[in-house]
């Protein structure tokens, strides 16, 4: 589905699509996830069922859409057509039906065309499967936008909170070779909070409009057969619209390694380390999993839209031959940001934090091989809010009751 690189570029553009939510959150892991992570079956030749119509791949990286293959036993003209573009390759090919001519024991040639003789069924069954040659054809750039409305819910006994959240992402592969890929990525999130009443945070409007922006550069390289590693750096800023920009900066890095033993499995681990505003640095492990455990079924931590703010895992149903898919996911978010001026002077230029867990269902649709929409419906089941003074002390915290989520994401690759 979403990230735009290759398996060989696991750690270059869905740890895409799964790390700036931690980066933007910490700050926002989703766009900071390795933008180069790509499901293994989009980076290796894969068997194609002749009866299947070509469909846009729904894994972390769009791949070439194969031409509709022709069954080996289909009758063809005695004179073969001009060769088509080389998008489908058959290893060690056997003669096709078009190349079979009448035997010497057959009738003498005449001016009338003679129908070709199809090969015996046993010979056709022994033919090798048709495979798709991937080549260096993955889109080099990905752009995404998204929106989630968080419906109002109670905060303690005397207050309520809701939010409108807007997302944007862009990534570009700036260098690519057989052994090395270099990608730059950026992500933006704007959170507009709506308050009513006074909660345990002690103020009617602890924070209003929050901006989160992150920039990442990453290189991935092949370390052995089936193994790829990556290293990257992160620079980010997070704060209210009137917060001091110089006091809203943080940064860090990410390292990861992944193993692709088969075309249906990718396993790996990433480690993200970033500084935090007025707090100790945080180190977060990021699991990498992309597993086709049954026909049309997928368990993945890297299939989400690049602009998604959630870090977590999806169980997805991706029926073959369909442009639509459905997934159930669990996701985590963490946002820590600098506050601006406030009606409560004790938290002027302080620190705000919003951490949550959510469960949701997404329905995705591939309009074209390079344009996809994901609709999201879900709910938070845990959310904690916190404010601190300007030096990160005297924390006040409260929890928010579960509240509904409704959103949409658009991803374009080119």
Task: For residue range 15-47, list pLDDT tens digits in order.
Answer: 333 344 344 434 343 434 444 455 554 433 333
The span from the CA of 93 to the CA of 241, in Å, is 64
What are 157's two structure tokens?
Answer: 């006994």
CB 170 within 8 A of CB 185: yes
Strands 311-317 and 279-294: unpaired
Is the confidence at residue 101, as pLDDT, over 70? no
The span from the CA of 141 to the CA of 390, in Å, is 39
The span from the CA of 179 to the CA of 8, in Å, is 7
Mean pLDDT for 322-334 is 97
3-state SS, residue 125: helix
CA angle 94, 98, 104 (to 5 degrees): 90
Strand partners, 154: 160
Tens-digit pLDDT profile for residues 54-66: 443 444 433 333 3
Tens-digit pLDDT profile for residues 341-384: 999 999 999 999 999 999 999 999 999 999 999 999 999 999 99
User: Which tops the pLDDT comparison, 386 or 14?
Assistant: 386
Is the confidence at residue 159, as pLDDT, over 70? yes
Model pTM score: 0.72
> 6-39: buried (b, 16+ CB within 10 Å) or exposed (e) per residue?
bbbbbbbbbbbbbbbbbbbbbbbbbbbbbbbbbb
Tens-digit pLDDT profile for residues 127-136: 444 333 333 4
Q: Which CATH architecture has domain 7-44+138-413?
A: Beta Barrel (2.40)
Structure confidence at residue 157 (pLDDT): 87
Q: What average pLDDT does the chain have?
A: 77
What are the CA-CA distances from residue 35 to residues 38, 136, 140, 265, 277 (Å)?
Answer: 8, 17, 11, 18, 25
Structure confidence at residue 32 (pLDDT): 43
What are the CA-CA distances from residue 20 to residues 167, 236, 253 (Å)?
Answer: 12, 9, 11
Residues near 120 by beta carbon (within 8 Å), at least 6 away in sequence? none
The span from the CA of 364 to the CA of 410, in Å, is 10
Q: In the chain, what are the domain boundaries? A: 7-44+138-413
Mean pLDDT for 302-316 is 96
CA angle 319, 325, 327 (to 5 degrees): 115
Is the confidence at residue 74, as pLDDT, over 80? no
Residue 181: pLDDT band with limits 50, 70, 90: very high
């Amino acid at each position: 589905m979403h990230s735009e690189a290759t398996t060989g570029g696991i750690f270059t553009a869905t740890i895409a699509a799964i790390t700036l939510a931690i980066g933007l959150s910490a700050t926002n892991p989703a766009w900071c996830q390795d933008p180069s992570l790509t499901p293994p079956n989009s980076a290796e030749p894969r068997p194609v069922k002749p009866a299947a119509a070509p469909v846009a791949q729904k894994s972390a990286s769009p791949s070439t859409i194969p031409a509709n293959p022709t069954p080996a036993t289909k009758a063809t003209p005695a004179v073969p057509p001009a060769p088509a573009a080389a998008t489908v390759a058959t290893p060690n090919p056997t003669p096709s039906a078009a190349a079979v001519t009448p035997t010497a024991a057959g009738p003498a040639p005449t001016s009338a065309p003679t129908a070709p003789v199809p090969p015996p069924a046993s010979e056709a069954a022994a033919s090798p499967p048709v495979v798709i040659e991937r080549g260096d054809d993955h889109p080099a750039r990905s752009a995404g936008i998204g929106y989630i409305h968080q419906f109002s819910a109670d905060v303690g006994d005397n207050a309520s909170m809701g939010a409108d959240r807007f997302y944007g992402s862009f990534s570009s592969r700036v260098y690519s070779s057989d052994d090395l890929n270099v990608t730059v990525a950026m992500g933006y999130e704007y959170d507009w909070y709506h308050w009513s009443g006074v909660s345990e945070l002690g103020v009617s409007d602890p924070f209003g409009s929050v901006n989160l922006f992150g920039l990442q550069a990453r290189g991935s390289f092949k370390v052995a057969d089936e193994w790829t590693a990556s290293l990257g750096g992160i620079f980010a800023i997070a704060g209210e619209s009137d917060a001091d920009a110089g006091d809203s900066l943080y940064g860090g890095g990410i390292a990861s390694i992944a193993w692709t033993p088969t075309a249906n499995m990718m396993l790996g681990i990433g480690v993200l380390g970033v500084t935090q505003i007025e707090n100790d640095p945080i180190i977060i492990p990021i699991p990498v999993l992309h597993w086709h455990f049954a026909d049309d079924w997928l368990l993945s931590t890297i299939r989400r839209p690049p602009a998604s703010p959630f870090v977590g895992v999806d169980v997805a149903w991706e029926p073959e031959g369909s442009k639509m898919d459905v997934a159930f996911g669990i996701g985590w978010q963490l946002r820590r940001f600098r506050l601006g001026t406030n009606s409560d002077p004790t938290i002027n230029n302080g620190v705000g934090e919003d951490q949550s867990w959510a469960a949701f269902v997404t329905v995705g649709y591939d309009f074209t091989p390079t344009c996809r929409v994901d609709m999201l419906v879900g709910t938070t089941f845990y959310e904690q809010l916190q404010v601190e003074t300007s030096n990160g002390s005297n924390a006040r915290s409260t929890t928010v009751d579960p509240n509904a989520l409704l959103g949409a994401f658009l991803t374009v690759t080119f």
